[in-house]
């Protein structure tokens, strides 16, 4: 804190275990490392891909209509084949990556913020407010989220913002319940009671003691949820109530390719592969996160780092 | 005791992990004869359970490896047995009971079934097994045994569960019973009854017994011979009387001198000023009930008309077993829960009417040290952040620029080093963590520190050090302690006055000397008698009485 | 336990009611379904007749009161599209969906318990690693894509099974497998980790000390305890299965509730949407209720006294 005031303080070794230890653990888990690298590549492609591609993937090329994959003489972009208008699939996958990831990210963030906030209230305050929150969650949970989303989207129209909001609403209960359960457990831990007994304000107790303990669980949950929301958006788009033209996501691409299934399987196949790969990577990463943030496991790691004492 | 039942020789066990090799026990030797009780005594981390687990074949490999030694039983080396041979001995000739019977009984099967299982595994027919299970439960004195055969483990109390475990273990009249901390989680009165039961079964059957424990009192009470373990090695062994009267090894001497309850009663020097006064405290809890049924909702009284005073600078001991209401009393004193009736006055004002500045003042003057030092320190905060947090909460007590020096001063006061401020809780031992918790409690210069089982989770030798620290701090700062504990000898050494609680009621109150030397209430008498004492001679007197 | 179940039933009724009210008002906010059902140049009088016959001209609260009255007599109104009672349509479609869900969850449970137990017996063995990776993959596959690829491979190319319909057993195979993949992937992971923790528990140590053989330890002591979390998660998957059923029914042309609901949403057939939402929610409640009872049978601790 006030290190400038006290001479010699800077020279003292401060343990900064978690970040380095977690990276070390990531290096040890080959699958998680591969997943992380793949996700970074996909995100980079989504960020810088569309401007670099220019017209590739948008301009029609009637010579290459439904061209099959793996025909190198058509050029690199046609390596995964082309769609009914001759547009290379690979380029279209890169263009679609941005809306696909953005919709999922926005929905995950929105549901996380709302869910964690309500979960903190329901867990820390409890009482009637907590009961009402839990009952509302029950209502949302008692019905298949996809059907609920379909009903709502049809009523309000399938705009991208509506898709995001609907996906967020159907996923709020997951964060809410997790946060509430964690808060209830952490609240009864002795160090929280010790702070309360010393006179700590609610804000201090929550922000200093409870929230930092909930963060790892929520981070793990968010990675799984990202995968789930991506699949849900793809399903909605597949059923025609998600993203609408001219925008398109991987889910839309699978749906559009369905009518050419018997003649040009690659139209549906490749975008689906990308959905599966990103989902799989997220699941692998969340598995790793769960281990890396598990107190017992981290404990061992931190002891390794601190064992020079 | 010429013949030997089981002889363990030169046993070494190590656990291999990616971080390296941990030598759990090294060249450990002990033996036990029929009808004899051998105690393996050690503190946490001494490896006292490892050799018994090796004998039973319960060491998971990997990571465990037996690197040397033999365990001779009936002419065979138990460490060399095949799986099938091992299963022929386990539960039949040698059986084992454990510390936490709730976890060690399978939660989804009735207890009768679990006892029958032991018999059926070793070839007893189902019908015969059912009959024997009932006899066994009666033999271990489980009340209403016949009706309770079909009940599940969670429906029993801790002591009853241990009786069921014992019934399972003695079902086939084994030659040897290994008991790993069998009474550690139990109340003292229950502990005494379980130990009596074990002795009685041993007298009837003539089986040998190996008792693994950290409690010197238990050793003195039931064992014939003892081996003392430290850091995976046997440091001393012999007849209990010899070892306890003339300990040869310095560690044994240290252990024996650390045992509480040996010092003279504290000199009571009561100051007139009353800091806290509890008047007629009642706390009722609603029992879970069916709200569709009409009628009064059943309640249970966790506190039943409890009144007492705490004077400045004194140590008030509060003793009681589980369910006595001492935890509820602590929570009420800390204003964490509202009493159903009665009040607690701090310097004449009811603490439940305190608001704003007055409440903050009360919070400042009453601090707390909890039982489990691991749970009471936020694992994500550095020691500096933990100890200085009270100053962050109570702005104006100490300017921020002086926190660093303040924390270092407190750490020195509790026997730690200034540079420890930059570390995190998991880098300390249990005893050190409790010192950190004490430093945090001292930060606001309180008048009262409530110690809720503050040393119960610590090893005896560490316990003694922490108590010494608390005494020293009391002298220095004129602190008053409310010392809540289930361990009577500890309270005897440390408290000026004692309250004895039972089932929510205050059954007796007096100076420490009055309570321990001249107890009046029958419950107090039972409590004091049940508490095991490490002096073998005292024990003889108790048994005769 | 009875108290718990009663309480749960009551709360579910409240949830159901909330859901129905929500859908009712949401649906009415979109405007009149008249626009969808009558030609754009339909005369004003025809529109008014249509509105009056179906009660769309009444004030919203009046429509709501009528709707609630109908609920009490299980009358959700007529289907606009087909002119039969809405509930009848839904109930006719329900068995198909329920069977689809039941077969899938049953298949997923069997796969999960067998694979999970085998993987847990030797953690980090080759089998365990492959099972873990495959289960992660299973949980990651979008089921509409699996359905399409499945049709492509097994129906179009290999011609082992038909592409759609519900007439024969063969027609059920692909949909059930497609629907089971995701829950199976999830449940394998749950089964594996709960089996590992059961095998390292204290009561297993007791069983070893009794002299119990490995088979007895796995199948009698550990498995029953390890089933408990698996069943809880399987219950949570019930709603997810219905999600999947919507898609699978659409792709395979199954006449289930999912397909009916989607078609009704597209045609603004409110009465059928209402009835479908209600019946689906009730079905999920019954599923969860059954799972609670199974759980109580397996775990005496939840039974109470």
Q: Using alpha carbons only, what angle is made at residue C297 by residues C292 and C303, rounded to the nearest 5 degrees?
A: 75
Q: Which position has the token pair 């890169």?
A: A94
Asked if the Cβ–Cβ distance from A142 to C281 is below 8 Å, we say: yes
State whether residue B280 is helix, strand or coil: strand
Task: Work out the percent of chain B whose per-residue pLDDT is above 70.
Answer: 95
Asked if the Cβ–Cβ distance from C212 to B98 is below 8 Å, we say: no
* Structural domains for chain B: 35-61+89-258 (3.40.50.300), 314-326+355-538 (3.40.50.300)
Q: CA A94, CA A47: separation in Å to the nearest integer?
A: 9
- Which residues on A lie below 8 Å from C148 (Cβ)? 254, 258, 261, 268, 272
Average pLDDT over residues B362-371: 90
Mean pLDDT of chain B: 88
Record the tokens describing residue A181, joined without a space: 């359960």
Asked if the Cβ–Cβ distance from A194 to B403 is below 8 Å, we say: no
**Within 13 Å, how many C-alpha atoms sit on residue A13's CB side?**
8
The better pLDDT of the pair A144, B147 is held by B147
- Which residues on B lie below 8 Å from A189 (Cβ)? 375
A300 contact B CB<8A: yes
Confidence (pLDDT) at A294: 63
Burial status of residue A66 (CB atoms within 10 A of its CB: 0-12, 13-18, 19 or more)? middle
pLDDT at C57 over 80: no
- Which residues on A lie below 8 Å from B379 (Cβ)? 295
Q: How many Cβ contacts (< 8 angstroms) between chains A and B?
A: 86
pLDDT at A16 over 50: no
**Touching C: A residues 13-32, CB under 8 Å:** 31
Q: Where are the alpha helices (DSSP H) in C29-85?
A: 34-37, 44-54, 60-72
Contact A106, A97 (CB under 8 A): no
Confidence (pLDDT) at B208: 93
**Touching B: A residues 198-217, CB under 8 Å:** 198-201, 204, 208-209, 212-213
Q: Using alpha carbons only, what angle is made at residue B295 by residues B292 and B301, rounded to the nearest 5 degrees?
A: 105
User: Could you tell me which chain C residue has the CA closest to the CA of A32?
Assistant: C133
Q: C85: which DSSP letter?
A: B
Instruction: Give strand ranges (E) for B142-287.
Output: 176-180, 208-213, 225-230, 233-239, 274-286
State whether residue B77 is helix, strand or coil: strand
Q: Which of C6, C210, C301 sits opposite B107 (nearest CB)?
A: C301
Reference B307, options B332, B345, B281; nearest CA is B281
Asked if the Cβ–Cβ distance from A276 to C137 is below 8 Å, we say: yes
User: Could you tell me which chain A residue has the CA closest to the CA of C21?
Assistant: A139
Q: Which of A136, A231, A261 sits opposite C142 (nearest CB)?
A: A231
Q: Structural domain tally of chain C?
A: 1
Q: Is the dihedral of CA B138, B143, B146, B149 positive or negative?
A: negative
Asked if the Cβ–Cβ distance from B393 to A200 is below 8 Å, we say: yes
A227 contact C CB<8A: yes
Q: CA A29, CA A291: separation in Å to the nearest integer?
A: 11
**Touching B: A residues 10-69, CB under 8 Å:** 12-15, 17
**Touching C: A residues 109-138, CB under 8 Å:** 135-136, 138
Confidence (pLDDT) at B448: 92
DSSP for B318-387 reads EE--TTSSHHHHHHHHTTSS--SEEEEEETTEEGGG--HHHHHHHHHHEEEE-S-TTTTS-TTS-HHHHH
The better pLDDT of the pair C147, A22 is held by C147
pLDDT in tens, C191-250: 998 998 898 889 999 999 999 998 899 888 998 898 888 888 888 777 788 888 888 888
Asked if the Cβ–Cβ distance from C149 to A239 is below 8 Å, we say: no
- Which residues on A lie below 8 Å from C18 (Cβ)? 135-136, 139
Q: CA A208, CA A100: separation in Å to the nearest integer?
A: 35
Contact A81, A264 (CB under 8 A): yes
Average pLDDT over residues C51-68: 79
Q: Which position has the token pair 């029993």?
A: B156
Question: What confidence tier does A64 reach under pLDDT thresholds 50, 70, 90?
Answer: low
pLDDT at A13 over 50: no
Closest CA–CA distance from residue B309 to any residue of chain A (Å):
21
* Residue C283: inside a domain: no
- Which residues on A lie below 8 Å from B393 (Cβ)? 195, 198-201, 204
Record the tokens describing residue C241, joined without a space: 């299965």
Confidence (pLDDT) at C118: 86
CA distances from residue A238 to A253, A257, B70, B451, C103 in whole angstroms, order as listed: 8, 10, 69, 63, 25
Q: CA C147, CA C178: separation in Å to the nearest integer?
A: 6
SS3 string of B166-206?
Answer: HHHHCCCCCCEEEEECCCCCCCHHHHHHHHHHHHHHHHHHC
**Domain ranges within chain A, ordered by starting residue:** 28-308
Phi, psi of B20 (to 5 degrees): 135, -165
Q: Is beta strand B299-311 parallel, antiparallel or unpaired with respect to B505-511?
A: unpaired
Contact A78, A64 (CB under 8 A): yes
Closest CA–CA distance from residue B176 to any residue of chain C (Å):
12
Q: Which of C16, C23, C133 sits opposite A151 (nearest CB)?
A: C23
Asked if the Cβ–Cβ distance from A142 to C136 is below 8 Å, we say: no
* Residue C177: inside a domain: yes
Task: Work out the percent of chain A whose per-residue pLDDT is above 70.
Answer: 83
Domain that residue C199 falls in: 94-267
DSSP for B337-356 reads S--SEEEEEETTEEGGG--H
Average pLDDT over residues A205-219: 88
Q: CA C190, CA B457: separation in Å to the nearest integer?
A: 34
CA distances from residue A157 to A162, A243, B159 in whole angstroms, order as listed: 7, 10, 65
The better pLDDT of the pair C82, A63 is held by C82
Q: Where are the alpha helices (DSSP H) in B399-450?
A: 403-413, 430-442
Q: Which position has the token pair 């009056």?
A: C52
Q: CA A237, CA A252: separation in Å to the nearest integer?
A: 5
Reference A101, options A166, A150, A43, A147; nearest CA is A43
Identify the helix (H) or strand (E) that includes residue B448.
strand B448-452
Neighbours of A260 (CB within 10 A): 15
pLDDT in tens, C11-38: 778 777 887 787 777 767 666 666 666 6
Contact C273, C258 (CB under 8 A): no
Q: Which of B108, B122, B290 sits opposite C3 (nearest CB)?
A: B290
Question: What is the reported pTM?
Answer: 0.81
Average pLDDT over residues B294-305: 77
Q: CA C286, CA C293: separation in Å to the nearest integer?
A: 11
Reference B176, options B280, B250, B74, B274; nearest CA is B74
pLDDT at A8 over 50: no
- Which residues on C lie below 8 Å from B89 (Cβ)? 211
Q: CA B48, CA B40: separation in Å to the nearest integer?
A: 6
Confidence (pLDDT) at A7: 33
* Residue C145: inside a domain: yes
Q: CA A59, CA A55: separation in Å to the nearest integer?
A: 6
- What lies within 8 Å, CB to CB, of B438 at 6+ separation is B369, B414, B449, B466, B469, B470, B473
pLDDT at A94 over 70: yes
Confidence (pLDDT) at A96: 86
Per the document, the length of chain A is 309
Mean pLDDT of chain C: 82
The CATH number of the domain holding residue C234 is 1.10.3720.10
* Residue C35: inside a domain: no
**Structurally, what CATH architecture does the domain formed by A28-308 represent?**
Orthogonal Bundle (1.10)
Q: Which of C16, C142, C239 sits opposite A272 (nearest CB)?
A: C142
Task: Work out the percent of chain C whose per-residue pLDDT is above 70.
Answer: 93
Reference C233, options C291, C178, C281; nearest CA is C291
Task: Work out the percent of chain B whose per-residue pLDDT is above 90.
Answer: 41
Average pLDDT over residues C141-164: 81
- What lies within 8 Å, CB to CB, of A42 at 6+ separation is A97, A101, A274, A278
pLDDT at C1 over 70: no
pLDDT at C86 over 50: yes
Q: CA B476, CA B471: separation in Å to the nearest integer?
A: 9
Mean pLDDT of chain A: 78
């Amino acid at each position: 804190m006030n290190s400038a005031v006290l001479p010699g303080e800077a020279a003292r070794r401060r343990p900064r275990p978690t970040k380095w230890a977690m990276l070390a653990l990531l290096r040890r888990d080959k699958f998680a490392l591969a997943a992380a690298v793949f996700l970074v590549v996909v995100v980079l492609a989504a960020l810088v891909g569309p401007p670099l591609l220019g017209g590739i993937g948008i301009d029609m090329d009637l010579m290459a209509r439904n061209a099959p994959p793996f025909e190198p003489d058509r050029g690199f972009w046609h390596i995964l084949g082309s769609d009914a208008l001759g547009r290379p699939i690979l380029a279209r996958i890169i263009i679609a990556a941005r809306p696909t990831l953005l919709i999922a990210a926005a929905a995950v963030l929105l549901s996380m913020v709302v869910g964690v906030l309500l979960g903190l209230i329901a867990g820390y305050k409890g009482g009637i407010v907590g009961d009402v929150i839990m009952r509302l969650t029950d209502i949302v949970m008692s019905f298949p989220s996809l059907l609920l989303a379909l009903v709502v989207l049809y009523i309000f129209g399938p705009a991208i913002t509506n898709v995001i909001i609907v996906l967020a609403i159907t996923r709020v209960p997951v964060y809410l319940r997790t946060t509430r359960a964690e808060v209830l457990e952490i609240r009864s831990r002795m160090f929280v009671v010790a702070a309360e007994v010393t006179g700590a304000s609610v804000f201090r107790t929550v922000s200093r003691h409870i929230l930092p303990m909930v963060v790892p669980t929520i981070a793990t949950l968010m990675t799984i949820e990202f995968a789930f929301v991506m699949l849900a958006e793809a399903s909605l788009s597949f059923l025609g109530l998600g993203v609408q033209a001219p925008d398109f996501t991987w889910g839309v691409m699978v749906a559009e390719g369905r009518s050419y299934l018997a003649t040009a399987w690659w139209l549906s196949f490749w975008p689906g592969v990308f959905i599966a790969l990103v989902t799989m990577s997220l699941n692998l990463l969340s598995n790793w996160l769960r281990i890396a943030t598990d107190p017992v496991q981290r404990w061992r790691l931190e002891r390794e780092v601190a064992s020079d004492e | 005791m010429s013949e030997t039942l089981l002889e363990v020789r030169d046993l070494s066990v190590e656990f291999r992990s990616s971080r390296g090799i941990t030598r759990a026990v090294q060249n450990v030797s002990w033996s036990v004869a029929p009808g004899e009780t051998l105690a393996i005594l050690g503190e946490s981390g001494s490896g006292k359970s490892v050799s018994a687990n090796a004998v039973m074949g319960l060491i998971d490999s990997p990571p465990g490896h037996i690197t040397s030694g033999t365990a001779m039983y009936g002419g065979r080396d138990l460490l060399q047995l095949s799986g099938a041979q091992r299963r022929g001995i386990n539960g039949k000739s040698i059986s084992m009971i454990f510390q936490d019977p709730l976890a060690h009984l399978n939660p989804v099967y009735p207890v009768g079934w679990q006892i029958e299982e032991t018999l059926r595994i070793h070839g007893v027919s189902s019908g015969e097994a059912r009959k024997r299970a009932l006899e066994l439960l009666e033999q271990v004195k489980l009340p209403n045994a016949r009706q309770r055969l079909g009940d599940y483990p969670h429906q029993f109390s801790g002591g009853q569960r241990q009786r069921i475990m014992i019934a399972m273990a003695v079902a086939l009249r084994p030659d040897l019973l290994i008991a790993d901390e069998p009474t550690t989680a139990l109340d003292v009165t229950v502990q005494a009854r379980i130990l009596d039961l074990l002795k009685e079964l041993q007298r009837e059957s003539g089986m040998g017994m190996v008792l693994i424990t950290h409690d010197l009192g238990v050793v003195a009470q039931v064992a014939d011979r003892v081996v003392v373990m430290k850091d995976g090695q046997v440091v001393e062994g012999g007849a209990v009387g010899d070892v306890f009267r003339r300990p040869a090894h310095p560690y044994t001497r240290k252990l024996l001198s650390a045992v509480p309850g040996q010092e003279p009663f504290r000199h009571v020097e009561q100051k007139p000023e009353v800091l806290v006064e509890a008047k007629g405290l009642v706390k009722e809890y609603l029992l879970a009930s069916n709200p569709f049924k009409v009628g009064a909702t059943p309640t249970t009284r966790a506190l039943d008309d409890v009144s007492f005073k705490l004077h400045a600078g004194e140590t008030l001991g509060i003793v009681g077993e589980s369910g006595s209401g001492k935890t509820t009393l602590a929570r009420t004193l800390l204003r964490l829960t509202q009493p159903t009736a009665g009040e607690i006055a701090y310097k004449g004002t009811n603490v439940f009417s305190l608001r704003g500045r007055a409440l903050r003042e009360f919070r400042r003057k009453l601090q707390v040290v909890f039982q489990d030092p691991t749970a009471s320190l936020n694992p994500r905060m550095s020691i500096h952040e933990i100890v200085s947090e009270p100053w962050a909460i109570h702005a104006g007590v100490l300017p921020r620029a002086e926190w660093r020096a303040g924390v270092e001063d407190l750490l020195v006061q509790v026997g730690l080093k200034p540079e420890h401020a930059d570390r995190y809780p998991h880098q300390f031992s249990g005893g050190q963590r409790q010192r950190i918790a004490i430093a945090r409690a001292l930060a606001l210069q309180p008048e009262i520190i409530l110690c809720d089982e503050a040393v119960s989770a610590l090893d005896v030798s560490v316990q003694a050090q922490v108590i010494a620290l608390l005494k020293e701090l009391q002298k220095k700062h004129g602190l008053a302690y409310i010392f809540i504990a289930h361990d009577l000898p500890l309270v005897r050494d440390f408290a000026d006055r004692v309250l004895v609680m039972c089932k929510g009621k205050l059954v007796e109150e007096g100076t420490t000397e009055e309570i321990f030397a001249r107890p009046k209430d029958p419950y107090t008498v039972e409590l004091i008698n049940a508490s095991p004492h490490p002096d073998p001679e005292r024990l003889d007197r108790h048994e005769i009485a | 336990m009875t108290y718990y179940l009663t309480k749960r039933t009551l709360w579910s009724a409240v949830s159901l009611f909330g859901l129905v009210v929500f859908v009712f008002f949401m649906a009415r906010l979109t405007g009149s379904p008249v626009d969808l059902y009558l030609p754009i140049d339909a005369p004003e009088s025809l529109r008014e007749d249509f509105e009056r016959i179906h009660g769309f001209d009444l004030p919203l609260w009046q429509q709501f009161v009528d709707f609630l009255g109908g609920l009490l007599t299980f009358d959700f109104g007529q289907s606009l599209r087909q002119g039969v009672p809405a509930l009848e349509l839904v109930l006719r479609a329900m068995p198909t969906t329920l069977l689809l869900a039941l077969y899938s969850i049953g298949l997923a449970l069997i796969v999960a318990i067998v694979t999970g137990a085998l993987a847990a017996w030797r953690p980090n063995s080759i089998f365990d690693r492959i099972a873990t990776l495959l289960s992660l993959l299973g949980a990651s596959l979008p089921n509409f894509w699996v359905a399409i690829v499945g049709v492509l491979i097994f129906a179009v190319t290999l011609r082992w099974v038909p592409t759609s319909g519900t007439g024969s057993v063969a027609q059920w195979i692909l949909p059930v497998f497609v629907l089971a993949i995701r829950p199976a992937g999830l449940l394998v992971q749950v089964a594996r980790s709960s089996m590992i923790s059961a095998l390292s528990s204290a009561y297993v140590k007791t069983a070893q000390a009794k002299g119990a053989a490995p088979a007895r330890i796995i199948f009698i002591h550990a498995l029953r305890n390890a089933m408990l979390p698996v069943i809880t998660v399987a219950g949570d998957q019930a709603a997810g299965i219905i999600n999947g059923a919507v898609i699978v029914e659409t792709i395979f042309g199954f006449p289930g509730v999912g397909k009916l609901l989607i078609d009704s949403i597209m045609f603004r057939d409110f009465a059928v949407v209402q009835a479908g939402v209600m019946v689906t929610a009730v079905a999920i409640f019954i599923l969860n209720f059954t799972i609670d009872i199974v759980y109580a049978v397996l775990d005496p601790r939840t039974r109470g006294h």
